[in-house]
Amino acid sequence: MVFLLSSFLIGCQPASPQTGPEPAIATHTFVSSDAPLLNPERGFFTPYELPGPVGFSPVRATGNTLVHLNIRLDDWRETDIPQDVLEGLDSNFADIRDAGVKAIIRYSYNAGPYPDTEPDASKAQILRHIQQLEPFLRSNADVIAWLEAGFIGAWGEWHTSTNGLDNLTDKQDILFALLKALPETRMVQVRYPANILEMFPEVLTQEQAYDGSNQSRVAHHNDCFLSSETDVGTYERDGVVTIERDQAYLAELTRFTPMSGETCAPFPPRSECTNAIQEMELLHFSAINEAYHKGIIRSWEEGGCMEEISNRMGYRISLASADFNEQVRPGGILNLTVNLQNTGFASIVNERPLYVGIIPSPPRREQSEGMYHVLLDIDPRTWEPGSTTFTARLHIPSNAEDGEYQLAIWLPDAYESLRDNPLYAIQFANENMWDESTGYNILGTISVNKGAGGSYQRGEKFEFTESTSSVERSVVSLEPVPIPALQSPAGETLISNIEISNDAENVYLSFDYANGTYNAFQILVDKDKNRETGYVINGIGAETLFENHTWNLYQGSGSDWKWEPTALLIHFEDSGSQVRWSISRKLFHSSSFDVLFQLVDANWNSVFVTSKLTYTLK
C-alpha cells in the first residue's frame, strides 16, 4: 500500500539569478546492522511494582528502555490516595527520567487471585482516584509510553470485579475518564478486544489515526499472548471463540496504536518461534514482558528466534540510501532523498519530530555554533513496516559560513524536557552512523562554499521549501497454526497409548513414552471442566496435579505454576517405557473431568503436553 504526503513552505526572498548548473546529486548507500539497539518506547520491558522506593538505573544496562509499573492502590480502596504517596510516585518518575527509560503504567487494587479475587474499588472511588492522579499523569507524560486501562477487577485486567463493574457502561466511563486525565499525546490499552469492538464497532482508519479522539487513543494489551487456543479467554466471548474476528480488527488497530503484553503459559506449537513471529508481525507488537512466562521465553531462545524477536519488537528503521548534492552555495538548495526500511513489527507509536540538520565539521568552539536544524512536515509514525521514501528541498542560510558540514537526521523526543537528551532519540539500524553524544544519525558530509553553482535565495533560515513522503507497507496475513500430535524431531510420538479406566475404588491411568530422561510424569485434572478456574494449560483449568507419586492442589491463579503438595502418596510405577497410576476415585471429586498428560525433562522444562481428554467414571 502506498500513500503520498507533500507540503510546501514559502518563506524565502525571491530567487536571484542562477549562476551555473545545480550541483550534481550523489547516491550514498548504507550498511544495515543486526546489533541490538536501545531505542525508546519499544522492546522487552522490565516489570516493577509501586508505590515504594525502587531503582531504575539498571534497566538500560540489561538492554531495555521500557519498564512496566503495576501501581497498587489496595490500601486506598475506600479513601483518597495520600499526598505523600503521590509525591513518592513523582520521585519514582524523576528516577525513571534520569535512567533514560519510559514506563507502561497499570493501576490495580489487588493481585487476584482468580476466581476468588481480592476486592477492587467502587466506580465512584476509581473516578476520584483518576481525578487525583491527573496532575501526576500530565506532569510525567514525557516518560509515560502508554497506560493500561487497569483499575477494574482481578489484577486490574477488566474481569471479576467485586464491585459489579463487569459491564460496558462502567468500563467505558472509567476508560474515558482516564483518557481525559492524560494529554492527547498518550494512549490507553484495554485488555479484551471484545470491549474495544463494543465501544468502537468500526475499526480505526488511517484518516482517524492520531486525531486526538477517544477512538484514536484506545489500544489493546494481551496478557496471555500465545498461551492457549484463545489466549486464555482473550479471544473468547460468552463461550464463543472470536480469534479470527478479533485479530482481523486488531491487525488494523495496531497499525496506529501500541500493542504489548505478556505470555502466561507455554502452548506449543502456537507459542513457539514460527507462530510467535507471525502473530507479532500481524499484531504489530511493540513490547512484551521479559520476565513472564519463562517457559515461552526459553522456547524462543532454544528455537533460535530470540534475537529476531528482540530486534524487531516495535520499530527497527535502517537507511538503505540517501541522494543529496555534496556541494551547495550559501543561499542555495540542498536536495535530499532518503530511502529507509522498517523491518520491525510496528511503527513508531508516539508523536516524534523529524529534523534534518547540518553540523560544522569539526565542531565549532560552542557545540551549537554554526549548527542548523529544520523541522520537516513529515510524521515518522507513518513509517510502517515496509519501505519509505521522503524528499526535501532545503534552503541553506545565505549567511552560512563556507566549510564542511555533517548532514544528519535527528528524531528526538517530542517533549521539550527530553528533546536534547540523546537517550530518547531514535537510532537507525546502520553501521557507523550514530552519534551517541548528540542523538544524530549522520548521513555524510556536504561542503558549503560560495563557488558552488545553482540557484540562490536570500534568507538566514535553514528551512524546507518542499517535502514529500511515500510509504509502501508490508501487509501480513496469518496462516492457521495446526496443532499436531506431540512428536519428537524424528517423528516419534513421545506420549502414546493413553489408557484410562476405573473400578469401584480406583481410577487407573497409563501411557507409553519415548526414550529420554524425564524428571516428572504429570497428570493435570480439571474436575469442573471449566478452563477459567485452576491452572490454565491447553484448554483446561487444572485444580489437581498428580506428579509421579505425589498429589498436588493448585494454589495459584491462571498461569502461575503454584502447587501445594499433600501428604498423601499415590501408587505410581515407571517401567522405563510406560508409566501407570492407581488413584482413589475420591481424589477426582467429580464423576466426569478433563485431563491431560505432560512430560518434564531433566531441567524441569515441560517438553510435551497432550491435548485435552474427557473421562466419565463408570
Q: What is the pLDDT of residues 90-118, one digit of tens each?
A: 999 999 999 999 999 999 999 998 888 99
- Read off the pLDDT band of 483 (50, 70, 90): very low
- Which residue reads 519514582 in cell numbers? 92
Q: Tell me, what's the pLDDT at 281?
A: 97
- The model's pLDDT over 345-387, given as tens digits with 9 standing for 90+, comes to 999 999 999 999 999 987 654 555 668 999 999 999 999 999 9
Supply the pLDDT for residue 96: 98
d(CA 92, CA 70): 13
- Say whether pLDDT at 463 is over 60: yes
Q: What are the φ/ψ torsions at residue 357 (nearest 5 degrees)?
A: -130, 150
CA-to-CA dists, residue 109 to 29, 76, 78, 167, angstroms = 53, 8, 11, 18
Give the residue among 282, 440, 247 at the shortest CA–CA distance from 359.
Answer: 440
Closest by CA position to 68, among listed 273, 291, 232, 225: 291
Q: pLDDT band for 478, please (50, 70, 90 cuts).
A: low
Structure confidence at residue 156 (pLDDT): 96
Residues 582 and 571 sit within 8 Å (Cβ to Cβ): yes
Q: What is the average pLDDT across 253-276?
A: 94
- Compute the average pLDDT of residues 63-77: 98
What integer pLDDT is reported at residue 493 of this predicted model?
Answer: 67
> CB neighbours (10 Å) of residue 563?
18
Reference 534, options 470, 477, 612, 601; nearest CA is: 612
pLDDT at site 559: 67
| Across 579-592, average pLDDT | 92
Whether the pLDDT of residue 15 is over 50: the answer is: no
d(CA 162, CA 182): 26
- β partners of residue 3: 471
Tell me, letter by letter, the H, E, C secondary structure of 529-579.
Answer: CCCCCCEEECCEEECEEEECCEEEEECCCCCCCCEEEEEEECEEEECCCEE
**Mean of pLDDT values over 574-599:** 92
pLDDT at residue 482, rounded to an integer: 44
Q: Is 60 exceeded by the pLDDT of residue 452?
A: yes
DSSP secondary structure letter of residue 22: P
- Choose among 426, 456, 419: nearest CA to 440: 426
Residue 2 has pLDDT above 50, yes or no: no
Q: What is the pLDDT of residues 293-305, one digit of tens each?
A: 989 999 999 999 9
Instruction: Give the pLDDT score at 565.
Output: 86
Residue 404 pLDDT grade (very low, low, confident, very high; cuts 50, 70, 90)? very high
The per-residue pLDDT for 6 is 40
Per-residue pLDDT, 405: 96
pLDDT surpasses 60 at 481: no
Return the SS3 of 379.
coil
Q: Using an 8 Å Cβ cutoff, are 108 and 151 in contact? A: yes
Range with the poorest average pLDDT among 415-419, 606-610, 614-618: 606-610
Which domains, ranges and CATH numbers included, belong to the chain? 2-32+317-473 (2.60.40.10), 40-186 (3.20.20.80), 193-314 (no CATH), 495-616 (2.60.40.10)
Which has the higher per-residue pLDDT, 496 or 178?
Answer: 178
Rounded alpha-carbon distances, angstroms, from residue 122 to 160, 167, 169, 180:
13, 13, 14, 19
pLDDT at 412 over 60: yes
* Angle of helix 123-139 versus helix 83-99 axis, rounded to 10: 40
Measured distance CA(103)–CA(121) in Å, rounded: 24
Confidence of residue 12 (pLDDT cuts 50, 70, 90): very low
Q: Which of 27-36, 241-250, 468-477 has the lowest mean pLDDT?
A: 468-477
Task: Kindly indicate the confidence band of residue 480, based on its pLDDT and cuts at 50, 70 and 90.
Answer: low
Count of other CB atoms within 10 angstroms of residue 247: 17
300: three-class secondary structure by DSSP: helix
Q: What is d(CA 397, CA 374) in angstroms, rounded to the nearest whole number?
A: 11
pTM (two decimals): 0.78
Residue 153 has what pLDDT?
96
The x, y and z cell numbers of residue 422, run together, are 540523546
pLDDT tens digit sequence for 191-221: 999 999 999 999 999 999 999 999 999 999 9
> Given this model, what pLDDT does residue 487 score?
37
Residues with Cβ within 8 Å of residue 443, at least 6 apart in sequence: 28, 319, 322, 324, 338, 407, 408, 409, 433
Of 11 and 20, the structure prediction assigns the larger pLDDT to: 20
pLDDT, one tens digit per residue, over 280-335 is: 999 999 999 999 998 999 999 999 999 999 999 999 999 999 999 999 999 999 99
Q: How many residues comprise the chain? A: 618
Whether the pLDDT of residue 508 is over 70: the answer is yes
Average pLDDT over every residue of 49-67: 95
Residue with cell 497428570: 523
A 10 A CB-CB count for 136 gives 17
| Mean of all residue pLDDT scores within the chain | 90
